[in-house]
């Protein structure tokens, strides 16, 4: 007679997004609440990015895309733009070790040629130094605009069609996808926006077609591990249907 083995059942693994995208908003409002200049809000916001990188690694989220600077943000006062570019440069220098420690590859999407040369140099250096990491990915959206990205893809597709490299009748969704800034990265599963604004602000327009949306009133500098875990837990309870009826 065989002895009955107790049936042990593993609890189901919590559902985490493969790709999390974040509209990091509210640095200015945070600073105002504290009676500080806006730049202090951006500095505190940079700390939240560091926390988000670590938390994503801990939770097993493979891709984290953060909206750090939009094409529209160039129209802000020069002093603020300069401060943001300077902060970005410092962030890249300071966080390089953090990326290595967490085995995270840095990438960037956007019209990177708009960035000051010194920022571009730092960005390229850190992207190159981390390009061998595969499991974790941090994607910085810099001088990024969803419409700009789609227009650039359309331009490239048109150029190829004109050169006879591509049949215009065969242009489909995957053709467009493969001409975006980072065609190998899966679409975001979860999009978080901090500070309560119910809008997309030109972020990843093509890629978020079926992303789950999560908006919180918490300002970005206050959005830390606990808040991120809460958002991911809510994502785990969502039922994604992708247009199906069940
Ligand atoms: C987000 O914070 C950071 C960037 C857009 C660079 P904001 O600077 O937009 O902060 P609020 O929205 O004015 O509070
Ligand atoms: C979106 O925030 C851009 C970034 C987070 C970088 P904004 O503050 O620029 O967006 P709006 O102006 O509120 O739409
Ligand atoms: Mg804002």
pLDDT in tens, 3-53: 566 666 666 667 999 999 999 999 999 999 999 999 999 999 999 999 999
Q: Among residues 73, 86, 114, 187, which one is catalytic? A: 73
In the block, residue with structure tokens 């995270």? 104
Ligand 2 neighbours by CB, cut-off 6 Å: 23-25, 67-70, 73, 197, 199, 201
Contact predicate 21/192, CB 8 Å: yes
| Tens-digit pLDDT profile for residues 182-239 | 999 999 999 999 999 999 999 999 999 999 999 999 999 999 999 999 999 999 999 9
| Mean pLDDT calculated for residue range 101-120 | 98
Q: Among the atoms of ligand 1, which is closest to the Cα of residue 219? A: 14
| Tens-digit pLDDT profile for residues 45-84 | 999 999 999 999 999 999 999 999 999 999 999 999 999 9
Q: Which CATH class is domain 19-145+187-235?
A: alpha beta
**Contacts for 64 with CB less than 8 Å, ≥ 6 apart:** 19, 20, 21, 22, 52, 53, 56, 136, 137, 138, 139
Extents of the domains making up the chain = 19-145+187-235
- Please tell me the pTM assigned to this model: 0.95
């Amino acid at each position: 007679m065989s002895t009955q083995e107790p049936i042990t059942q593993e609890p189901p693994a919590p559902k985490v997004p493969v790709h999390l995208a974040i509209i990091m908003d509210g640095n200015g409002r945070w600073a105002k609440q504290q009676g500080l200049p806006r730049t202090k809000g951006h500095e505190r916001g940079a700390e939240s990015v560091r926390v988000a990188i670590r938390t994503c690694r801990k939770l097993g989220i493979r891709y984290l895309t953060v909206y750090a600077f939009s094409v529209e943000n160039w129209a802000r006062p020069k002093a603020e733009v300069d401060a943001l570019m300077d902060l970005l440069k410092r962030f890249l220098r300071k966080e390089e070790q953090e990326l290595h420690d967490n085995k995270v590859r840095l990438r960037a999407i956007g019209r990177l040629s708009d960035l000051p040369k010194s920022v571009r140099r730092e960005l390229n250096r850190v992207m190159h130094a981390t390009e061998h990491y595969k499991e974790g990915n941090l994607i910085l959206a810099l001088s990024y605009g969803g419409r700009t990205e789609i227009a650039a893809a359309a331009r490239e597709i048109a150029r190829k069609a004109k050169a006879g490299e591509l049949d215009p009748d065969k242009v489909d969704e995957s053709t467009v996808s493969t001409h975006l800034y980072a065609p190998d990265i899966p679409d975001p599963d979860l999009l978080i926006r901090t500070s309560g604004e119910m809008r997309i602000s030109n972020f990843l327009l093509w890629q978020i077609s079926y992303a789950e949306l999560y908006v919180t009133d918490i300002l970005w500098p206050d959005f830390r591990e606990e808040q991120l875990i809460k958002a991911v837990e809510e994502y785990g309870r969502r039922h994604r249907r992708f247009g199906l009826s069940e």
